[in-house]
Each structure stands twice: as structure tokens, then as C-alpha cells.
Amino acid sequence: MIIIKTDEEIDLIRKSNLLLGQLHGELAKVLKPGIKTIDLDKLAYEFIMDHGGKPSFLNYRGYPNTLCISVNDVVVHGIPGDYVIKEGDIVSIDSGIELNGYHSDSAFTYAVGEIDQEVWTLLKVTKEALYKGIDQAKPGNRVGDIGFAIESHVKKFGFSVVRELTGHGVGKYLHEEPAVPNYGIRGYGKRLKKGMTLAIEPMVNMGTHKVVFDQKDGWTVRTADGKPSAHYELSIAIGEKHADILSTFDYIYSAIKDNPNLSAPE
């Protein structure tokens, strides 16, 4: 069942996403070569607790942390640990916060130091694909229109979208219906209506779309060919005519300006 939200509920989801945006900004201040991913996770946990929230991912289906930190060939669900970030990495940080009963969900991929030109293009195209998907998230359209827009853009550059993982509804629960695949057929799927709130999150691989699920930790998703993967995610509400973006990357971009180790496509 797709849960339609009132304007008041959408404002609560926006508030949760505003705090999440600020958290992403704090992380972007300290992300640099030499930092351990677990230290970013600790900072995130403290930040969320200090602001009256709860980390949405922590204990979700047994997930052990506040953040998913996915480096290079890790697509999503990288578990923070002893890995030390190094120059040339691409780092996706994904998190969610439950605030006043409503969840937020958003992710961003950074370039740490100098990265290959083609990897930069991967980041750029993935982020563009996110906004192309969001453009289709409007009343009257269908879920397939979002995925179609995302995959069409990605394919133009010879990249591929991951098929085993999708975007989703978000609100009272971190994951609600409908699933929002990053591929689709125009005019197919559930009809989009005002008051739906969705997390749209293209996961784009430079090479094969195929992924491998880590059997030991039960979470880490890697590209099957070891090539890099990028991930950007925003939570949105479907308004009268178009999508209302509830998450924000603004704090990330202002932090990047003052962090010489980081960059990301505009």
C-alpha cells in the first residue's frame, strides 16, 4: 500500500531531511585522506542523537551502523570500519534520520583528491540521472517514467544501472511502497499522486550492471567487475504539478568549498 502524506507530514519529512542535510555537511567538513570510515560513523551517530533524532539505518534489518559508506567498487551498504580513506577514492555516504516519527534518506558521492576523468564523468552522470528521475516524479506520470529517464541518461554514456536495488517510498517507515527502480518502461508502473514521498536513488556502475552481495558481512554490495560505482539520493514529495525536493545538498556544497580534499560535480 502506498501511504499518501498530508502537508503537515510532508513538513515533518522535510524537517528530518534538513537535519540530514546538515549531517552530510558536517561529514563533508571532515572527510579526507587518512580518516577511518568508522570515525565518520561515530560523528554521525553523535550528531543525530544530539539533535533529538534516531539513526534510521542502525538496527534496520540488523544493519550495524548509522552510515553506509561505499568506496570505489562498493555500490551501496558499505559498513563503516577500519578502512582508511585515501586520495583517489570515490566515497558514497548514505544516511537516514528518524525525527518526530518521520524518516529522511539521502546519499552523496564525493571525489577524494584527484580522480580519473572517466570516474568524474560517472559521478556527474549519476547525479544528472537523479535529477532527470525527479523531473518525472509528478502527478499523472508512473513509476516507470522515473526509471526510464534515469536509465536512458546513464546508457548514453555507456554506464549501467543496478537492478537488484531500488529507490522507495519514505515517511513513517524508512522503506515504504512503491519500489522505485532505476530502470523502467515509460507509462508503466504505479501511477504517481500528490502526497507520495519517495527516495530516488540511482546506483550507477561504470562497467557491468551486475553486483555481488558480500556473503560474510551480509550487507556490502560490490560491482561484479570491480569497476567503480556511484550513488546519489534525495527524498522528494510529489506536489500539485512537480516534485518538491525535501532533502538538501546545500550543506555539502558549502563544506566542499572549504575542504580542499573533496570535490563533486555541481
77: contact with ligand MF3 by CB under 6 A: yes
DSSP letters along 34-81, please? Answer: T-BHHHHHHHHHHHHHHTT-EESSTTGGG---SEEEEETTEEE-PPPS
Which x/- pattern over 144-183 shows residues binding Co ion (rule: CB under 5 A)?
A: ----------------------------------------
Residue from the set 26, 60, 120, 224 that interacts with ligand MF3 by CB under 6 A: 60
211: contact with ligand MF3 by CB under 6 A: no
Cis peptide before 181 (omega within 30 of 0): no
Residue 124 phi, psi dihedral angles, 5° rounding: -60, -45
105: contact with ligand MF3 by CB under 6 A: yes
DSSP letters along 100-162, please? Answer: TTEE--EEEEEEESS--HHHHHHHHHHHHHHHHHHHH-STT-BHHHHHHHHHHHHHHTT-EE-
To ligand MF3, the closest distance from the beta carbon of 33 in angstroms equals 25
57: contact with ligand MF3 by CB under 6 A: yes
Part of the chain binding ligand MF3 (CB under 6 A), chosen from 61-69, 115-123, 131-139, 143-151: 61-69
Quote the longest CA-to-CA distance of the chain.
48
68 contact choice in Co ion, ligand MF3, none (CB below 5 to 8 Å, kind-dependent)? ligand MF3
**Residues at the contact surface with ligand MF3, assessed by CB under 6 A:** 57, 60-61, 63, 68, 77, 94, 105, 107, 168, 199, 233
**Residues at the contact surface with Co ion, assessed by CB under 5 A:** 105, 199, 201
